[in-house]
Amino acid sequence: MLRNRLKLTFTLSFIAIIVLCAALIYTGRLPSAFTAFTENIEGEKASKQLFEAYNVMDNTFHFELPDSWHTQEVSFAGGEILYHMNFISQDKRINGFVQVWKLSKPLKQFIEESKESAVGVVDFKHFDIKEIMADNKKGYLIDYSRANPEGEYNRAYEAFIEGYSNKVYRISFFVPEKEWKNYYKVLFDRIIHTMNIKK
């Protein structure tokens, strides 16, 4: 009796799965369901990602990046860029940098002028700016897609945070648009909010 119930339960479950898959295929939703499922798994991995802490500029600036990412500090002459570190993810999909700038103008003005000077020269698919807070400091988050020289689009996600003494702290992430995953925003926001800025 128990054995027959188990067989019946198994058979009905199997039929229900077949019917569900057929319905998803028929409505064209199987690919989107599969994408959502894989992104959920990848998002779960990102939430469990281990991070490595960086304390730079005489311990006045702290941030964290995934410990599997490769990093390289670069020095610039001229004095406007006080600190620069490139990074690239292990799978080479994500690259970007962390910078500290010394600006001679307010951050909002700098961002507005940068956007205006790029309009007409750079092909933007979309360009969104919003105010954010990181380490209890005001800043701006810029999310945009722009064409590269080959005509393919790259997605950018950049945070600019105001610091002390006209310093601006910037973290920029770049991903080929065709490889963009929705959970990247969760990972990038997590990195942005690891920033700790001291005087």
The pLDDT tens digits for 32-52 are: 555 555 555 665 665 567 899
Report the C-alpha gap between 184 and 163 in whole angstroms: 25
Mean pLDDT of 99-118: 86
Is 90 exceeded by the pLDDT of residue 14? no
- Strands 61-66 and 51-56, bridge-based pairing: antiparallel
170 within 8 A of 188, measured Cβ to Cβ: no
The tokens describing 31, both together, are 């690919």
Count how many residues are written for the chain. Answer: 199
> Between residues 175 and 12, which one has the greater pLDDT?
175
The tokens describing 101, both together, are 């700038």
- Which pLDDT belongs to residue 93? 95
Among 7-11, 24-28, 127-131, 166-170, the range scoring the smallest mean pLDDT is: 24-28
